[in-house]
Amino acid sequence: MSSSQIRKRTGVVRGTSITMAHGSGGKAMRDLIEDIFLGSFDNELLAPLEDQARIDLASISAQGNRLAFTTDSYVVDPIFFNGGDIGTLAVNGTVNDLAVGGAIPLYLTCGMIIEEGLNVEDLRRIVTSMKEAAALAGVEIVSGDTKVVERGAADKIFINTSGIGVIPAHIKIESSRAQPGDVVLINGHIGDHGAAIVGARGDLAIENSIASDCCALNSLIADLLASCPDTHCLRDATRGGVATVLNEFAAASKVCIKIDEKALPVRAEVRGICEILGMDPLYLANEGKLIAIVPANYAQAALAAMRKNEAGKESAIIGEVSQAPEETVILKTIFGGERIVDMLVGDQLPRIC
């Protein structure tokens, strides 16, 4: 793109709070876009400010033979918490949704619904977080949209992010591919994000120092797939936690998945919070944890590769796949007994992401 095609950015947001004028389509909105969004996200695909990003198909097809496309919306309460904010959630969550399908994440879009009265510096902080998270994940935010709604019509800010990536030809990851004899791996402690949100909300009168595990997992997944290209199942354990993901795998593959409570990485502080509130760590949300199911002969190599990555230092083998009883998840307890781990009914903690 020539320099003559890149518009000069001169807009500056005036005032300390978002007003309805910032969503009107006029000068105030242009100032908001140029100052806060383009100031952070600017790149060659975004710079023309067209209504869509125009991407060279040759650069995409050179990396794989299938396009992965996903979208997600983020309504977390509160919007800032220990270990991240709604901006880091939006970028990392969408990157992870692409990566667990074996895709190489490439481009994101960003749609924001902003409540009138939101502090401008809070918005700037969120956008800065998104910029930093995108840079770490190696993706670009190439298109977006901004809407402002009246006070009370939203809760500070809601974000929608869509993403595209490319799946290499040799990768086949599906929830229906778990087979008897396979091994179940996880990349670290579970429940940290849920516990961090409990602490940030404050209304439950429980303080803790746990930080959210929010991070992009595409680098870890690339290392996993390099060591085990025939990874059968892969998914990030967000809402509904580890238990929900395992139940989805068991149902889709018509197998039984057995996990060992002693092998599950759970921080003592997370376990304590769950005991106080009557929650189960298996159902707590995560924003940087994946469950992988791999053939047994690849398990040790996959585990070693994951542990070499910053996002997988605490990786562990937590269980195995068997034939029966079909579509069932069973937990071997620390006392030596067994119990069925059902799909989550209801919601342990709403507005978690």
Tell me: do 132 and 18 sit in the same domain: yes
Tell me: do 187 and 336 sit in the same domain: yes
Tell me: do 199 and 325 sit in the same domain: yes
pLDDT of residue 348: 77
Tell me: do 74 and 206 sit in the same domain: no
Q: What single string gives the DSSP state of each residue in 92-119? A: HHHHHHHHTTT-EEEEEEEEEEEETT-B
Does some domain include residue 97? yes
- The string of pLDDT tens digits covering residues 103-159 is 999 999 999 999 999 999 999 999 999 999 999 999 999 999 999 999 999 999 999
Does some domain include residue 317? yes
Q: Which of 94, 206, 86, 73 is nearest to 141 (CA)?
A: 94
pLDDT of residue 8: 57
How many domains does the structure of the chain reveal?
2
pTM for the full model?
0.95
Tell me: do 200 and 151 sit in the same domain: no
| CB-CB contact of 52 with 155 (8 Å) | no
Tell me: do 125 and 244 sit in the same domain: no
Q: Is 297 helix (H, G, I), strand (E, B) or coil?
A: helix
Q: What single string gives the DSSP state of each residue in 305-332? A: HHHTSGGGTT-EEEEEEESSSTTEEEEE
What is the residue type of 71?
T
User: Does the structure show a pLDDT above 80 at 44?
Assistant: yes
Q: What is the CATH number of the domain that holds 157?
A: 3.30.1330.10
Tell me: do 334 and 194 sit in the same domain: yes
Beta bridge partners of residue 69, listed in sequence order: 164
Q: Is the dihedral of CA 315, 316, 322, 325 positive or negative?
A: negative
* Residue 305, token pair as written in the block: 């590769």
Does some domain include residue 174? no
Tell me: do 317 and 235 sit in the same domain: yes
Tell me: do 160 and 199 sit in the same domain: no
Helix (H) or strand (E) holding 90: helix 86-99
Of the residues 120, 140, 167, the one at which a domain ends = 167
What residues make up the domain containing 64? 12-167
Does some domain include residue 142? yes
Of the residues 111, 133, 167, the one at which a domain ends = 167
**Contact residues for 174 (Cβ-Cβ < 8 A; gap 6+):** 232, 233, 252
User: Does the structure show a pLDDT above 80 at 75?
Assistant: yes
Does some domain include residue 78? yes
- The string of pLDDT tens digits covering residues 294-352 is 999 999 999 999 999 999 999 999 999 999 999 999 999 999 999 999 998 877 788 99
Q: What is the CATH number of the domain that holds 266?
A: 3.90.650.10
- Distance separating alpha carbons of residues 29 and 88, to the nearest angstrom: 23
